[in-house]
Structure formats: C-alpha cells, structure tokens
Amino acid sequence: MSGSNELTAAQRADLRTVAAMIVPESAEYRVPGADDPAVQADMLATLGRDTAPVAQALDLLAKLAGKPLAELDDAKRDAVAEQFRASGGAAAATLVRVVLQCYYRDDRVLRSLGLELRAPFPKGHVLQDGDWSLLDPVRARGGTLRRAT
C-alpha cells in the first residue's frame, strides 16, 4: 500500500525486523535495539512526509523476502538485506535514515553515548578557547596577496 499515510500491520512488522537488523540491542553498551517499542513508536508518529518512500521500501523488502522478514532464517534475511540495500535506491535510504534519526535521539541511546538529553537551544555548549600560539608559524611564514600590477 505504498503512498498511504499509514503503514499496514505487515509493513510495521517488517519495519521492526529490519530496524533490529540495522541497530540490534546491545547488552555491552546497555542500549535497546531500533526495534524497541518506544523507538518504533517515535518512527511511526513522526513518519510524516517520509511515509510514502518508507512504505515503498517496505514493499520492496516484502517482495524480496516473499514472506514476513521475521520468518526468514538469519542467512536468508541477510541476503535480502543485501539485495535491499543494493537495489532500494532513495526509498531504502529514507527507511534507513528514519530508523537512525529516531534511534539516535532516544534518551537511553543518548545517555549511553554520553550526550545530554536536550535540544541545543537555549543552553548551548561551551567551547575551549584553544591555543592561539599555534598561529605563530603561520604569522612567521607571512605571505603576500597576488595583484595585477
């Protein structure tokens, strides 16, 4: 049902599966996978203008898999993913981008990365002034501007 404003149940299921293939859960880094219900809910709630290309990408995935992605064994799923990335074009890129942009704003993920859970404004960030003596060699070399005489 490419082009609709909402994804079908089958498309949502495949989205969950492919999201976990892109970013799986990690005990080592204490982060959820991109199939986490909160991350998935964020994706579905904010799909907006990306709905049509994401649906198109999911249709392609379904076609390549022949059945729900979750029902394929790991090897077959990896093969489908490889085909999907090679042939999916802009729609596949949009799907991957949607997964990543929602995953990398999840509180648990940002915390794991040591990032603050906030918008940049209004607090901003503090920058070190840096060592301005690094410019001394540039000043010492000097130079002239080229001009027509």
Partner 1 sequence: MKNDPVDVLIIGAGASGAAVAWSLADTKMHILCLDQGGWMNPAEYPSTGRDWEAKFFGEWSSSPNVRKRPEDYPINDDNSPIKVVNYNAVGGSTVMYTAHWPRLHPSDFKVKTLDGVADDWPIDYDALTPFFEENDRMMGTSGLSGDPLSPLSHPPMPPQPLGLSGPLIGKAMNKLGWHWWPSDTTVATMDYEGRARCINLGHCTPACAQGAKASTDITYWPHAIRAGVEVKTHCRVREILTNDEGMATGVVYYDKDGVEQFQPAEVVIVACNGVGTPRLLLNSVSGKFPNGLANSSGLVGKNLMFHPYAQIYGYVAEPTDSNRAPPTCLWSKEWYDTDLSRGFVRGYGVQFVRGAGPVFEAVVSEQKGILPWGKDHHRVFRKLNGHRLGFSAICEDLPEEHNRVTLDPVLKDGHGIPAPRIDYTISENSRKMMDHALARGREVLEAAGATDLCVNSPIPWGGWHLLGTARMGTDPERSVVNEWGRSHDVKNLFIVDGSIFVTSGGVNPTSTIQALALYIADQMKQRLANLFD
Q: Which residues lie near partner 1 (CB under 8 A)?
A: 21-24, 26, 28-29, 31, 46, 48-50, 81, 93, 96-97, 100-105, 110, 113, 115, 117-132, 134-135, 137-139, 141-148
Nearer to partner 1, 22 or 64 (CB): 22
Nearest CA to 33 among 108, 115, 114?
108
Nearer to partner 1, 1 or 117 (CB): 117
Spatial neighbors of 45 by CB under 8 A, at least 6 apart, are: none
| Cα separation, 47 vs 82, whole angstroms | 24
Residue 42 near residue 98, CB atoms below 8 Å? no
- Work out how close the CB of 110 gets to partner 1 at its nearest, in angstroms, rounded to a whole number: 8
Nearer to partner 1, 73 or 141 (CB): 141
Nearer to partner 1, 9 or 119 (CB): 119
DSSP-based three-state secondary structure for 148: coil
- Work out how close the CB of 74 gets to partner 1 at its nearest, in angstroms, rounded to a whole number: 10
Helix 51-65 crosses helix 89-103 at what angle (to 10 degrees)? 110
- Work out how close the CB of 112 gets to partner 1 at its nearest, in angstroms, rounded to a whole number: 8
- Work out how close the CB of 128 gets to partner 1 at its nearest, in angstroms, rounded to a whole number: 6
- Work out how close the CB of 62 gets to partner 1 at its nearest, in angstroms, rounded to a whole number: 18
CA of residue 106 relative to chain centroid, distance: 12
Nearer to partner 1, 37 or 74 (CB): 74
Residue 83 near residue 89, CB atoms below 8 Å? no
